[in-house]
Structure 1
Amino acid sequence: MTNRTAFRVGIALDGVGWHPAAWSHAPGADPAALFTGDHWTGWGRAAAAGGVDFVTLEDGLGLWTDRFGTAADDTGRRVRGRLDPVVVATLLLATTGIPEVVVTRNVTHFPPFQVAAQLASLAAIGPGRVVWRPQVSADARDAAVVGGAPTPALEPQDVYVPTRIARRLRDLFRDAEDHVRAVRRLWETFPATALGGEDGAFWRPGHIRPVPFTGEPRYPAAGPLTVPVSTPPAVAVLAHHALEPYRLAAAVADRVFLTPTTENPLSGLIAAFRQVEALTPDRVETQVYADVAVVLGDSEDHAQDRLGRLDAAAGEPWSTDTGVFTGTAKRLAGELADRRDGLGLAGVRLRPAVLADDGGRVVRELAPLTR
């Protein structure tokens, strides 16, 4: 790949990695370090220096677990806490040269005005470098933590059955669509042109306006926003293979992260998403990205051996909501090139199994091959 603008590579930053046994394979990791700015800015600077195009930050209201519908892991072997992604994004935008930061923000339990103000503040720090990933929460524990309204119960087996996801979460995704539209309307209420003027005035009141009435929206925020907006953030949606997430992405997202698996290859997912997109009223033009977990090695055998040791430490094979690529950075770069050319893939978000190892290989080995 020679044209770097034609294909974008991002790293999903989360703790010490995405594999359940990442902590036990993170050399020299210090628990306290994960809650300091140095950990995050270090990775932001490394990613920027290596040519990575963006990093993503996760949101979480309760202590994190990958076991849906069960209590969080209490063995002491897992990273369970997260810093607020808005705080981390502030650090990355202000102190690193990473081209773009994708900030996940919960839309089920945070009101549109709060989200709009937070993202607008980030956009003021890094104009054109902020992307918002709205996140739907279907975990009852999140509602318990913040005192919000209970959400529909999603059982572990539902995650793998698209029709069950659609039936249980339809209202949540429809609310999320209205939430994103409300945030975008709020961003329009205080344009940066309202600040200053030829007459030396500090601001121009006539440029600041309330949200226009648009029927009966789910979130009737009147505005105006309290933060000027010069460059509204783009919107990205992580969409698992189901109708409602696809519909949300088609309706409001500038880019969508699709989750290919062996049973659902990327070609089929893109075709399915484009079908949903074509049937979605008021759709926006959406770029397609792949969302893939990675275990990388010096050779194919080395990568497989690493995954085997991680799974053994976790006590079970790694099961994720997306596919797991296991192999060399060179082979991954080749497969991404094929999907870019054959499927029109705009980019990829990579979830490193162990950040120090796999994230490091993405920066050192994969990113240079995708330029």
Structure 2
Amino acid sequence: MDRNLVDPGSFRFGLALEGTGWHPASWLSSPVKDAEEVFASGYWTGWGRAAASGGIDFVTLEDGLSLQSDRFATADQAHDRVRGRLDPVVTAAILLATTDLGEVVVSRNVTHTNPFHVAVQMASLAAIGPGRVVWRPQVSADARDAMVVGGPATPGLRPEDLYVPTRIARRLRDLFRDAEDYVRTVRELWRTFPGESLGSGDTFLRPGMVAPLELTGTERYPAAGPLTVPVRNAPKVAVLAHHALEPYRLAAAVADRVFVTPSQEHPIPALLTAFREVERLTPDADGTEVYADVAVVLGDTEEHARARLARLNEAAGFVWAPDTYVFVGTTDRLARELADWREQFGLRGVRLRPAVLADDGDRIVRELVR
């Protein structure tokens, strides 16, 4: 998309970094053949620098307490899939220190972690990259995650629940309410050690400005503080919200930014209408920025893109059906579609999930944003 066609900064592009790509068969189509490379800092630094030089405004990093699987909430024994992730906080620190990326969006589990620890991690990243850190609180309904950390069992989604908003809301209501309390607790912790409390010369600290929380969080997430890291630039909060009441309510209540997931059944106009209605009914909601979250398979022509997806699905052994809309086509048509979304619906930006990072991510960086 030609930036000259829009006002500077009026539409923002994000690249979702995940292993060798988001399609389950991405490893088989990737030029990366040494698995160790995916766990080396140079791999992520290379993509961070490419994204920044290509005009990408932000990248996102995923979190996961258990290994990825092709089977929902169940481990598999696949040997030709990417399994395992670097800690997103460590990866973000590397990207912030070694690239010119404008923002790094860091996912962090909020169902099986302590808000004090996450508050310190995000504050530490904000010290490395002031104004360049966004936190994405991630709710987990996967029983395997609870087993990994020895935490309490959580209500789980069944595969047949995934695309039924009422079932998502009913099963996960308590998890999302807890997540709202968690985010509020983290934000309160960021206020317990303000950057302004640091002095200079013979004054290192103004102790009167550092204090514990007046409230100690929730029974599930007790946290008194004060934080151990000064916070001058508190990170923004982004929420990935599938089309259901509870994710929308969480985003409206605590997020600065929401990534919505369009589909054939729930196109962008319907999602925007639904989210804005939830936002209107949510106390203290304050104009959350809306971004689309889209998976992409790109090609030289429409036929080439469709053929690429067919080969990927054949290699995977099933049809790829992620939790959001899959665009299949050329970068020119993707640019036109995104321009229509921006002009007609006022979207603030888009996060693009490349099916194969080396192919689709490269096209996004080289062809889409320039």
TM-based fold match above 0.5: yes
The 5 A counterparts of 1:287-326 are 287-326=289-328
Does residue 96 of structure 1 match 2:95? Answer: no
Distance 1:66 1:133, change over 3 A: farther
Does residue 145 of structure 1 match 2:148? Answer: yes
For 1:78, the equivalent position in structure 2 comes to 81
Q: Percent identity?
A: 68
The 5 A counterparts of 1:1-371 are 1-72=5-76, 74-197=77-200, 200-213=202-215, 218-368=220-370
Structure 1 CA distance, aligned partners of 2:279 and 2:230?
32
Could you say what secondary structure the match of 1:173 adopts?
Answer: helix
Structure 2 CA distance, aligned partners of 1:248 and 1:215?
17
Q: What is the root-mean-square deviation of aligned Cα atoms in Å?
A: 1.2
Q: CA deviation at 1:2?
A: 2.9
Q: Is the 8 A contact 2:217 2:223 kept in 1?
A: no
Could you say what secondary structure the match of 2:151 adopts?
Answer: coil
Q: CA deviation at 1:215?
A: 8.8
Q: Which runs of 5+ in 2 are unaligned?
A: none
Could you say what secondary structure the match of 2:311 adopts?
Answer: helix
Give per-residue Cα distances to partners, 1:189-216, cap 9 Å, x unaligned.
Answer: 101111114x631111011111123896
Structure 1 CA distance, aligned partners of 2:21 and 2:217?
45
1:241 counterpart letter in structure 2: H
Q: CA deviation at 1:285?
A: 2.3
Query: Which has the higher mean CA deviation after the structures are superposed, 62-71 or 225-234?
Result: 62-71
Distance 1:77 1:131, change over 3 A: same
Structure 2 CA distance, aligned partners of 1:109 and 1:120?
19
Give per-residue Cα distances to partners, 1:277-325, cap 9 Å, x unaligned.
Answer: 0000121320000000000011111111111111111111111100100
Q: CA deviation at 1:217?
A: 6.5
Query: Which has the higher mean CA deviation after the structures are superposed, 215-224 or 149-158?
Result: 215-224
Residue-pair matches, total: 366
Q: Is the 8 A contact 1:178 1:218 kept in 2?
A: no
1:295 counterpart letter in structure 2: V
User: TM-score, normalised on structure 2?
Assistant: 0.97
